[in-house]
């Protein structure tokens, strides 16, 4: 039986130890990072090898391809895409144009991913940044207001699904106020719960039809002062499943991030106990993956139903003229690009 985990791998091809581990551990899926990427043929071969290791030709393979500085696929083999903030800047003066542009970029990214066999993209970022927050989110966010985030987030979700790729909204219920980078430390947010409900939580509630979501490693002191969202039953069951009415598949953010405490096995246990359907481990470290596998539960009951429901959103891409899409996106974004970082 498949288990409630997603793992990374160490390099650009699977080693014999990785194949054996995955065959035994039977994770729900896999995730790719820059260390795993060389060129299109190599990525396709790696994706196929990962799926072969667990005997599932359609297993989820994830990637973070947001555009801007969070992009695992880079030139010269893949086009550089603008960050989410580019669409927010355009939205200020031309909301319909911005919506179309966000849709087109997502649709084009989905095309790139489908060509490689990748079927899940960890985007859109629906976090609502505030002044003084850590720049780990920064231009990954669409805007500083919920209305714009909702409109552009919806465009990205539509573009991904119509392109044959599942989107993952993140970082639920909101990373925008964090004053620390959760890769390195545990952020704490002291904002009153009612204010969070009126601001940070709104985009996730409005787009709760997204088939997958990823948690925030953030403590919301007014809700649960002792645990970050990823390991907080109060946040997951009370806020994410309750108030935000998210019924899709809930992934933890990366368990190896320094925001979390304890062994990797303890982190996996805590995230599942709190209500995460699937735990995510990204760095490909075998020792850590073995620790997690010892604590990961079978993918069954409600967790299996949510996984099946998420995958049911996958279908063959709708007809799309890629060349025309690229030209139209360039036309829409052209005037914006001089004042937007495109790294």
Catalytic, out of 127, 139, 200, 253: 253
Longest dimension (CA), the chain: 54
Cβ-based neighbours of 323, under 8 Å, separated by 6 or more: none
Beta strand extents in 108-266 (DSSP E only)? 120-121, 166-172, 188-189, 212-215, 219-220, 249-254
Burial 90-103 (b: 16+ CB within 10 A, else e): bbeeeeebbbbbbb
Catalytic, out of 24, 41, 93, 183: 183
Burial class (CB in 10 A: 0-12, 13-18, 19+), 138: middle
300 classed as catalytic: no
Residues paired with 220 in a beta bridge: 189
As given in the structure block, the two tokens for residue 202 are 């709104």
Burial class (CB in 10 A: 0-12, 13-18, 19+), 135: exposed
What is d(CA 71, CA 50) in angstroms, rounded to the nearest whole number?
Answer: 21
* Torsion angle defined by CA atoms of residues 52, 11, 251 and 263, in that order, rounded to the nearest 10 degrees: 120
183 classed as catalytic: yes
Three-state DSSP at 115 gives: helix
Indicate which residues carry an active-site annotation.
183, 253
């Amino acid at each position: 039986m498949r288990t409630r985990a997603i793992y990374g791998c160490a390099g650009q091809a699977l080693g014999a130890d990785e194949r054996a581990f995955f065959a035994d551990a039977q994770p729900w899926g896999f995730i790719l990072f820059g260390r795993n990427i060389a060129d299109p043929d190599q990525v396709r071969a790696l994706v196929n090898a990962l799926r072969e290791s667990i005997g599932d030709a359609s297993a989820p393979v994830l990637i973070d391809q947001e555009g801007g500085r969070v992009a695992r696929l880079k030139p010269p083999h893949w086009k550089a895409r603008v960050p989410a903030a580019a669409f927010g800047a355009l939205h200020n003066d031309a909301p319909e144009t911005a919506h179309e542009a966000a849709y087109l970029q997502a649709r084009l990214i989905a095309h790139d991913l489908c060509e490689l066999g990748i079927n899940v993209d960890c985007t859109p970022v629906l976090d609502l940044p505030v002044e003084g927050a850590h720049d780990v989110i920064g231009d990954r966010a669409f805007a500083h207001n919920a209305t714009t985030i909702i409109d552009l987030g919806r465009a990205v979700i539509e573009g991904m699904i119509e392109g044959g790729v599942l989107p993952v909204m993140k970082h639920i219920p909101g990373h925008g106020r964090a004053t620390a980078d959760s890769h390195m430390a545990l952020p704490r947010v002291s904002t009153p719960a009612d204010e969070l409900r009126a601001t940070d939580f709104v985009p996730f509630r409005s787009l709760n039809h997204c088939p997958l979501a990823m948690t925030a490693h953030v403590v919301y002191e007014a809700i649960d002062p002792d645990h970050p969202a990823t390991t907080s039953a109060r946040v997951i069951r009370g806020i994410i499943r309750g108030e935000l009415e998210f019924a899709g598949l809930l992934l933890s953010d990366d368990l190896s991030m320094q925001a979390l405490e304890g062994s990797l096995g303890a982190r996996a246990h805590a995230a599942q106990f709190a209500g995460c359907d699937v735990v995510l481990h990204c760095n490909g470290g075998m020792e850590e993956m073995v620790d997690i596998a010892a604590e990961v539960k079978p993918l069954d009951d409600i967790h299996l139903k949510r996984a099946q429901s998420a995958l049911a959103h996958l279908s063959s891409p709708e007809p799309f003229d890629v060349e025309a899409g690229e030209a139209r996106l360039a036309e829409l974004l052209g005037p914006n690009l001089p004042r937007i970082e495109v790294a």
